[in-house]
């Protein structure tokens, strides 16, 4: 059992005088000296801090402090500002930009076809492109750019909705795209859609009903359905309007690969013809990414394997 | 130290202790917050930020209902890594019509301050219904009911009036409407006219395919996606003087 603290030894400390439960008392120790001096030291420190950094509000303004940051703004002018996190960011961006400038300048100055001939430059573009892609593009086109059947095109194959040349890819990224196919469920008879589905399936070597294929071929090239307007006489698509090639066994909207029977595959195609497509929206990145970033991404996507 | 002060005075007088404690813990807040109401440039003078349309406003409320802000911040800080990933740092001006603001302090998911226009509506629909169907490594829960829950718009006028009371320029009178026309143009002023709010929700939802259906039933999905697509793309950065933004801080 502890003793009554007020009676411990010669250096007994004072208590507050309160007593609870007969023997429960409260020490009244002074603050340790080191603590008190540290406290005063922090007050002295704060005075230096006020002088250096933005501190006291005065009316509709505040003391800016003596510390300054100099950065180069977008117009190339040197600007000196009082210390603050926004100026600090500018300085930070300046430093990194100065370091990367020779590379980005070279990217801008080098035609696409020449980039691959300079291994160091190509490494830079592919590495930068990769992080830009993962940040901005991978949410839809997936981390490996493999796309998602039924939603987002695969960028690693050589099948292109809007063209796989550098200029076309650059345009697609800058201005975005909006794929559209009308809903044929309201225009055509179910049997006609079935015929068309069989014909489209046959173009990719899927085993289909020959009679329906023949009827579908006729319908495809007729003004009734008008499929050839967009997909072309040979059903090989048109890049100008993003109409896909139907003969290459690569599927975006119809989830054909998910089905293992010819019947299932044809049904998947039938659904797309019936419902149409109005969700192939690629956002425009021109406002979000700089021209050089878009050039880097264009090269990156082109070089994922399918560039033309 | 003998300064003639005895802390017994405070410790034995509970009323005094309450008052002094409250003063002590609120002083830092008061010193940091109150001057901001008077300092010029606290809310940067940039063109573009606008109040939410009624449909976006309902989306914002649903965003709060579902606790999206627990995991998603809406505040890009002025650091290089954040600027590279999310875009320009957030301005106070961009949340001047937010009551309350949804800056948040936790980033289990990515910051959403500039999500507007980054992805297509179709992506948002699919992602909100089943996040892992598009982002395989995501740990976000799905919100599939948004697509099937009809949007409650019966109380939209009350919601807008409440915001009007705290300073958002939603219009109740002809004069306020005219002021909005001057400030935001006729298209938006029409959206901010409280008596037309329900009609405006229906029109905006029907004119766009936020949930993948034009003219379909209006769901919570419509509202949430309309809200998300409005985030962070209202300022025209080509007209902003960056040096002034630096001076403002």
Phi, psi at residue A249, to the nearest 5°? Answer: 65, 20
In angstroms, rounded to a whole number, what is the distance separating the alpha carbons of residues A173 and B117?
Answer: 13
pLDDT digit string (tens) for A281-303? 999 999 899 999 999 999 999 99
Note whether residue B201 is domain-resident: yes
Best residue in A20, A33, A40, A60 for a mutation probing chain B (most B CBs within 10 Å): A60
Mean local confidence (pLDDT), A88-95: 95
Q: Which token pair is A33?
A: 């000296």
Minimal CA–CA distance to A141: which of A131, A125, A155, A162?
A: A155
**Are the CB atoms for A227 and A276 separated by under 8 Å?**
no
pLDDT digit string (tens) for B14-56? 999 999 999 999 998 888 889 999 998 899 999 999 999 999 9
B29 and B110 inside one domain: no
Which residue from A60, A86, A88 is facing B245, i.e. has the nearest CB?
Answer: A86
B140 and B77 inside one domain: yes
pLDDT above 80: residue B79: yes
What is the pLDDT confidence band of residue A17, given thresholds at 50, 70 and 90? Answer: confident
How many other CB atoms are there within 10 angstroms of residue B171's CB atom?
22
pLDDT above 80: residue B65: yes
B22 and B62 inside one domain: no
pLDDT digit string (tens) for B127-174? 999 999 999 999 999 999 999 999 999 999 999 999 999 999 999 999
Note whether residue B240 is domain-resident: no
Q: Is the alpha carbon torsion for A127, A131, A134, A137 positive or negative?
A: negative
Say which DSSP state A111 is in.
Answer: -
In angstroms, rounded to a whole number, what is the distance separating the alpha carbons of residues B95 and B43?
Answer: 9
Note whether residue B242 is domain-resident: no
B66 and B182 inside one domain: yes
Q: What is the dihedral of CA A304, A286, B209, A160, to 10 degrees?
A: -30
Pairing of strands A61-62, A277-282: unpaired
B90 and B152 inside one domain: yes
Total beta-carbon pairs less than 8 A apart between chain A and chain B: 90
B158 and B83 inside one domain: yes
Q: Output the pTM of the full model.
A: 0.88
Note whether residue B71 is domain-resident: yes
Q: How many domains does chain B have?
A: 2
pLDDT digit string (tens) for B185-239? 999 999 999 999 999 999 999 999 898 877 789 999 999 999 999 999 999 888 9
pLDDT above 50: residue A275: yes
Phi, psi at residue A183, to the nearest 5°? Answer: -80, 115
What is the pLDDT confidence band of residue A125, given thresholds at 50, 70 and 90? Answer: very high
B104 and B217 inside one domain: yes
Please tell me the least confidently modeled range out of A27-31, B1-5, B117-121.
B1-5
Note whether residue B142 is domain-resident: yes
What is the pLDDT confidence band of residue A10, given thresholds at 50, 70 and 90? Answer: very low
CA dist A110 → A97, A101, A170, A175, A278 (Å): 19, 14, 15, 22, 37
Note whether residue B42 is domain-resident: no
Q: Which domains does chain A have, with CATH numbers?
A: 33-62 (no CATH), 68-109 (no CATH), 126-302 (1.10.760.10)
What rounded mean pLDDT belongs to chain A? 91
Residues in chain B: 249
Q: Which residue of B has its CA nearest to A285?
A: B118
pLDDT above 50: residue A1: no
Question: What residues of chain A have any CB closer than 8 angstroms to a CB in chain B?
Answer: 16, 30, 36, 54, 57, 59-62, 73-74, 79, 81, 84-90, 92-93, 96, 135-136, 139-140, 142-143, 148, 151, 278-279, 281-284, 287-288
B12 and B108 inside one domain: no
What is the pLDDT confidence band of residue B3, given thresholds at 50, 70 and 90? Answer: low
Surface of B (230-249) touching A: CB under 8 A: 233, 242-243, 245-249
B135 touches chain A (CB under 8 A): yes
In angstroms, rounded to a whole number, what is the distance separating the alpha carbons of residues B214 and B204?
Answer: 10
Find where tokens 């989306």 sit: B59
pLDDT above 90: residue A245: yes
In angstroms, rounded to a whole number, what is the distance separating the alpha carbons of residues B96 and B82?
Answer: 22
Minimal CA–CA distance to A64: which of A91, A43, A92, A87?
A: A87
Burial (0-12, 13-18, 19+ Cβ within 10 Å), B165: exposed
Mean local confidence (pLDDT), A28-45: 93
Minimal CA–CA distance to B192: which of B171, B173, B178?
A: B171
Beta bridge partners of A280: A179
B227 and B149 inside one domain: yes
Q: What is the pLDDT of residue A11?
A: 55
pLDDT above 50: residue B1: no
Burial (0-12, 13-18, 19+ Cβ within 10 Å), B37: exposed
CA dist A183 → A6, A140, A165, A201, B126 (Å): 93, 24, 30, 19, 21
Q: What is the pLDDT of residue A138?
A: 94
A258: three-class secondary structure by DSSP: helix
Determine the number of helices (DSSP H) and then strands (DSSP E) in chain A.
11, 8
B92 and B127 inside one domain: yes
**Are the CB atoms for B198 and B156 separated by under 8 Å?**
yes
In angstroms, rounded to a whole number, what is the distance separating the alpha carbons of residues A93 and B166?
Answer: 38
Mean local confidence (pLDDT), A38-58: 94
Phi, psi at residue A20, to the nearest 5°? Answer: -115, 150
Q: What is the pLDDT of residue A4?
A: 52
At a CB cut-off of 8 Å and minimum separation 6, what does B10 contact? B16, B17, B20
At a CB cut-off of 8 Å and minimum separation 6, what does A211 contact? none
pLDDT digit string (tens) for A153-166? 999 998 999 999 99
Phi, psi at residue A216, to the nearest 5°? Answer: -65, -40
Note whether residue B243 is domain-resident: no
List of E strands, chain B: none
Note whether residue B246 is domain-resident: no
Determine, for residues B246 and A90 on separate chains, whether the beta-carbon distance falls below 8 Å.
yes
B180 and B125 inside one domain: yes
Give the range of the structural domain holding residue B95, as residue numbers without chain letter: 54-235
B84 and B131 inside one domain: yes
CATH of the domain at B196: 1.10.760.10
């Amino acid at each position: 059992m502890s003793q009554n603290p007020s009676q411990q030894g010669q250096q007994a400390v004072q208590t507050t005088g309160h007593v609870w439960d007969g023997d429960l008392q409260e020490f009244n120790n002074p603050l340790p000296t080191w603590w008190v001096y540290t406290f005063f030291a922090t007050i002295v420190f704060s005075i230096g801090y006020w002088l250096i950094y933005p501190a006291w509000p005065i009316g509709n303004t505040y003391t800016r402090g003596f510390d300054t940051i100099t950065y180069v703004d977008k117009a190339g002018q040197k600007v000196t500002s009082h210390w603050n996190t926004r100026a600090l960011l500018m300085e930070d961006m300046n430093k990194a930009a100065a370091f990367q400038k020779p590379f980005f300048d070279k990217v801008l100055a080098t035609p696409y076809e020449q980039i691959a001939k300079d291994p160091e430059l190509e490494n830079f573009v592919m590495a930068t492109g990769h992080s830009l892609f993962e940040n901005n593009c991978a949410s839809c086109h997936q981390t490996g750019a493999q796309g998602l059947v039924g939603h987002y095109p695969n960028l690693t194959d050589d099948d292109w909705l809007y063209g796989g040349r550098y200029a076309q890819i650059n345009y697609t990224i800058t201005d975005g795209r909006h794929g559209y196919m009308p809903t044929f469920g309201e225009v055509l008879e179910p049997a006609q859609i079935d015929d068309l589905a069989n014909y489209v399936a046959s173009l990719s070597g899927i085993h289909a009903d020959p009679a329906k294929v023949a009827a579908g071929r006729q319908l495809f090239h007729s003004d009734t359905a008008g499929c050839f307007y967009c997909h072309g006489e040979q059903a090989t698509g048109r890049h100008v309007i993003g109409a896909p090639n139907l003969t290459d066994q690569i599927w975006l909207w119809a989830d054909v690969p998910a089905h293992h029977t010819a019947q299932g595959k044809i049904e998947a195609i039938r659904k797309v013809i019936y419902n149409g497509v109005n969700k192939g929206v690629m956002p425009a990145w021109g406002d979000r990414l700089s021209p050089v970033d878009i050039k880097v991404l264009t090269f990156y996507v082109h070089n994922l394997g399918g560039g033309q | 130290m003998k300064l003639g002060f005895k802390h017994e005075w405070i410790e034995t007088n509970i009323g005094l202790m309450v008052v002094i404690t409250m003063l002590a813990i609120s002083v830092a807040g008061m010193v940091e917050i109150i001057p901001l109401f008077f300092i010029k440039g606290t809310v940067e003078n940039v063109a573009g930020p606008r109040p939410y349309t009624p449909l976006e406003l309902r989306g914002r409320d649903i965003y709060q209902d579902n606790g999206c802000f627990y995991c998603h911040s809406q505040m890009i800080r002025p650091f290089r890594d954040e600027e590279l990933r999310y875009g320009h740092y957030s301005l106070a001006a961009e949340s001047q019509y937010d009551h309350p603001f949804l800056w948040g302090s936790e980033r289990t998911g990515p910051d959403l301050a500039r999500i507007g226009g980054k992805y297509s509506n179709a992506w948002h629909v699919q992602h909100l219904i089943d996040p892992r169907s598009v982002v395989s490594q995501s740990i976000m829960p799905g919100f599939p009911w948004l697509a099937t829950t009809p949007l409650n718009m019966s109380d939209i006028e009350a919601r807008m009036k409440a915001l009007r009371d705290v300073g958002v320029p939603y219009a109740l009178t002809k004069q306020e409407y005219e002021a909005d026309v001057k400030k935001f143009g006729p298209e938006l002023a029409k959206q901010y006219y409280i008596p037309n709010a329900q009609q405006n929700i229906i029109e905006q939802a029907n004119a766009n395919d936020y949930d993948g259906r034009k003219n379909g039933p209006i769901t919570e999905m419509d509202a949430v996606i309309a809200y998300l697509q409005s985030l962070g793309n209202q300022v025209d950065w080509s007209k902003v003087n960056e040096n002034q933004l630096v001076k403002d801080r």
